[in-house]
Structures are given as C-alpha cells and as structure tokens.
Chains A and B, each alone.
Chain A
C-alpha cells in the first residue's frame, strides 16, 4: 500500500476527480466522482497500477449516497495496492463501465448490477449473472430481506399446520 503521504500525492494528481482519501489500517482508498471513473483508472494505470484485481459493490444503507462500487488496483512491479471508490444514489445508479479498458471488469460489473442494481453504461452485455434472468430485486442491498424457510421444530409441526389451515 502507498503510505499516507504517497496517497495524498496520488490524490492530488487526480485533481478534482478525487473527493476524499481514506488511509486506515494500511489500506489506501480514494473516493472519486462517479462521472470520471474511467479517466481516474486510466491515470492510475499510467502511474503503474495496471492490474484490476476486483470490482465489487457495497451498500451503505442508510447513509446516502447508498450504493458504492470499489475498484481494487494492484501495481505488480512495486507490489502496491490502492482502492478507488465511488458512490451513487439509488435513484440514479448509473456508472460508466470500464470494461473497454479493463476486460476483467466484464463479469464483475454484471455481478454488481445483479446484486446491487448499479447500471453500468457502455457494458457490452449487462444481464443478471448469478440470479435467474427474470428475478426481481437486487438481493445484496441491505433492505432486501434475507428470505429462507421458516424453521419448524417437530414438536410444533402439528400446531403450525393447523394454524395454516385456519
């Protein structure tokens, strides 16, 4: 990870795209403006962070803007990692897709779309990847119910059936 000063220098190079920097437990995160994510990633690529390790989503419910997308970048020559984070509200969850520059983001952006509902504009094939194609809802959002079967113990079974049939 770049240390705290290195992170500040990196953020300065990004100019107005960088909103905030967080350096916590030796992990460097830059929060950027969602509209400029492609340019930010290209700048970081030029600085040496050429490997996109992971694209994943977070739901910050109940803080707004709720939906976050995190890009984990890795510089293999210096073994350095930096994370780029952006946050979009649920009403307008549109982010430009970076698949054209980083082909590894293909399936990962589809997963973020499937689980959180973030729409990646410019993605070659934005469909649900883990849930069935006709599923409604975005399961990983924090206000989506966990679901599952009710747990019925054997001794309660008859009572449950009677209650259901009433």
Chain B
C-alpha cells in the first residue's frame, strides 16, 4: 500500500472513544456531558442535537439520524426510521403464496433475488418440495449476479459520498450489463419474480450463457480499475483508514452479520457455514478484514465481487441438464404445451392460478446470506392458501443498531463515511 494512507491521523478525544478496537468495548450507555455539567460550566462545548435527514444526499435513502454533537464530534446518535414503511408483511398475508413473491421482492430493493430466495426457501421447506439441481445452479448464478450488482451500487454511492463521484458512473456502467442479463432471463431489470416455489419460472434463453461469459471476462478487470482508482486516492484512504472501528464481539452482541462482521475478522458466512441451494458444490473464499474499520469494510466488499465472479463461472461451467422447476404439479405450473393435451394439467393449472397451493400448518425460518448479512424469512402457514405471517429478518435493520456504537467519538465526516460503509437499505429496514 502507498505510504500516503498511513500518515498520522488526528483522532478526536481518543480517551473517550467508546468501542475502540483496542479495548474490549462493552455495549452500554454513552458517557457524554449531561445538561447539568453544561450548566455548571464543566464542559467547554455545548451539546447540539442535529437532525440529519430524512431528505439528505448522504443518508442512502430516507434515514433520519438525530446526532448529538459536541463541536464537530459525535457524542450520540439515534436513528429514526419508518419513512418508507410499506406494510409489506401485512400485504403478504392477503395474497396467495406465489403472489407474495413480488411483494416480498420489493423489500430490500437492491437484493431482490435474495428476498425471493429466502421466502421461496421457507415455503419449499414447509412443503418439502425438492428443487432440481439445474434450478439450484440457475438460482446461484442470479443470486451472485445480484450480489455484484448490489455491491456496485454500494460502491458508486459510497464513492459519491466520499467525493470520488466518477466511480458512480463506472459502477452504473457495469450494473447495466448485469441488468441486461436479468432482462434476458426474465424480461425485467429489477424485481423480476424469477424465483418461484420449486425452482425458477423459466429456463435461461440461448445467448444468455455467452453473454454471461463475456461479462465474467471483463468484470475482474473492472474491479481492478476501481480498486486502483480508490486505493491511490489519498482523501478516500484518509477518510476510511482507522475510522470508526468496532470489534467483532460487540458486533455479535448487536446481531450484526455480513461484510461488517467479516471486516472485523469473524469469517461467518452462511454460504459456507450452512450451505443452501448447492453452494457446497462451489469453491470460493471468504474475504476477511483485520481491524474492522471503514477501510476493511470497503476492501471486504470489493473482494467479494471477485469471489462472486468465481462462483458464477463454476456454476455456469457445471450447469446440469434437467428441469428448471419441480415436477410436482401441485406446486408448480405445468408447461403450457401440456394444457392442450392433458386434462389433469388443465385442472392443476386452474387450481394453482386461482387459489394457489395449500401449505400444511407449520412455521419455518429460512436464513440466507444476502449482500448485507443474514437475511431470514419466517413463514407461518395455517393450512390455507395464504400465509398467516411472513416476516423478513432484514440484515440492515439489525446492522443499523451498530451505527451509534461505531460513530461515537468521531467526526461528522467519519459519520458520513461510516453510514456509507454500513450499506443500509431503507426498504429492508422499514419493510
């Protein structure tokens, strides 16, 4: 690394920094001067409460932060959310099981395939439906493409926050290629409802594989370019290195998973620990950081793009022949050409489209690894054709609780950088 980024950085009030990487930080109330102290004149600065958002260029969505400042140092932070609460979980109780898929997709709106995967996985577990291997590989391809697309937007918007605004246009250029691939396989760029209960809705068309290969050939070179641009930018390095670290134990207490936990050194990744949908067939590494500061969070996500490219390459090479959705006609629609010849197929089609399949009563929690951490879907069924409760355990909702611990004792500029590195998606937070 260039020596520029390792220069001396003036830390504000290193003594009062709660949650520093050095000491084992306990999670507790903040030690900020009380109003009585201010009255008695025992502090030189007053405390100012600043409202940050919900409309703000740096809040990555409609996040509102109540920041208590002493000078320019953040003493306390309270996130206020709910500004894009859509009642997704309540709407999902009103629709039949396959109609819930588009509802639930729009929750974490950058990781739409992951939302669908968690929900569909939960329903498949309840129904004990087997997903054919080809469908599992296709799911993996689309999930990893979505992971790359999500990290690209994170990269673009974070670089925009830090001032490197040209990266935004570069990352959108790559994302256009990915969205072209999604459009090829499902007809829609975002919120594709490509994953269905039992598999995927359609097989990939001809030309998809060759276009995907072209994309996979250029992607690592592009990520190298982004790394080269940002890693030689002194301002980005100074803003990210050493700022707002938080150790892995505190993060685990706060329930944080995903790249934030991996940046702190804990290699917990559900794709390796509890593999689902054939992830165990692929060889890939888990990038892990050392210090847990903003630079590690940035580097871990950038490295994850390389690993996702590797996974897609392996999935594409090993894509087996077979059906793209389960053959169980009670769960998946029969192919259209069968409707002309088979009466049973017609009846199944009619039943599935009008009422939908029924799921025996039970509960299921299905966790997967989304670009932001553990995304879990809890489905409770009561025997009818509509779910009785759908709850998405969104990683950003839980990760947001770590923001106040990370930013205590740091400057406002570090707060901006940390919010960017936290990668909050308000659609998932507010549901």
Are chains A and B touching in the complex at the 8 Å CB cutoff?
yes
A57 to B389, CA, bound (A): 9
Which A residues are CB-close (under 8 A) to B365? 27, 54, 72, 81, 83
- B27, A103: Cβ atoms closer than 8 Å: yes
Which B residues are CB-close (under 8 A) to A76? 268, 273
A148, chain B: closest CB distance, angstroms: 9
A26 to B400, CA, bound (A): 31
B229, chain A: closest CB distance, angstroms: 36
- B378, A56: Cβ atoms closer than 8 Å: yes
Number of A interface residues, CB 8 Å?
Answer: 40
Smallest CB gap from A141: residue in B: B90
* Interface set, chain B 376-423, CB cutoff 8 A to A: 376, 378, 380, 388-389, 391, 393, 397-398, 400-401
Which B residues are CB-close (under 8 A) to A139? 87, 90
Which B residues are CB-close (under 8 A) to A56? 378, 391, 393
Any B CB within 8 A of the CB of A66 = no
Any B CB within 8 A of the CB of A160 = no
Choose, from A8-16, A33-41, A89-97, A129-137, the stretch at the interface.
Answer: A129-137
21 pairs, A vs B, C-beta closer than 8 Å: A22-B363, A24-B362, A52-B255, A54-B398, A58-B389, A58-B391, A72-B365, A83-B363, A102-B253, A103-B27, A103-B401, A104-B255, A107-B400, A108-B398, A129-B82, A130-B81, A130-B85, A130-B431, A139-B87, A142-B93, A146-B91
- A53, B376: Cβ atoms closer than 8 Å: yes
A87, chain B: closest CB distance, angstroms: 13
Contact count band on B? 35 or more
Residues of B participating in the A interface, judged by any CB pair closer than 8 Å: 27, 81-82, 85, 87, 89-91, 93-94, 125-126, 128, 252-256, 268, 273-274, 362-365, 367, 374, 376, 378, 380, 388-389, 391, 393, 397-398, 400-401, 430-431
Smallest CB gap from A27: residue in B: B364
- B374, A131: Cβ atoms closer than 8 Å: no
A26 to B126, CA, bound (A): 10
A29 to B376, CA, bound (A): 16
A30, chain B: closest CB distance, angstroms: 13
- B393, A72: Cβ atoms closer than 8 Å: yes
